Amino acid sequence: AGCAVALVDRSSLDDFIDETTTSYRISTGLSPTIYPSYAAGAAAIEAL
């Protein structure tokens, strides 16, 4: 098992997923599961 985090421009996301899936499948014979996520607001300090 494993995990990777890749920072990819949104305009390239579909190509990245296609190329990564193909390369991984060829290398391992397995199909990866890819979970795209998007950055939210910046970190901040809040008074409690």
In the prediction, which pLDDT does 41 show? Answer: 83
CB 32 within 8 A of CB 20: yes
In the prediction, which pLDDT does 5 show? Answer: 94
Pick 3 or 39 by higher pLDDT: 3
CB 36 within 8 A of CB 17: yes
CB 20 within 8 A of CB 34: yes
Q: What is the pTM of this model?
A: 0.75
pLDDT one-digit tens code per residue, 11-33: 999 999 999 999 999 999 999 99
What are the structure tokens assigned to 33, written together? 């599961």
CB 16 within 8 A of CB 6: yes
Within a domain: 21: yes
Pick 40 or 15 by higher pLDDT: 15
How many domains, the chain?
A: 1
**CB neighbour list of residue 32: distance below 8 Å, 6 or more residues apart:** 20, 21, 24, 25
For residue 21, the enclosing domain spans: 1-33
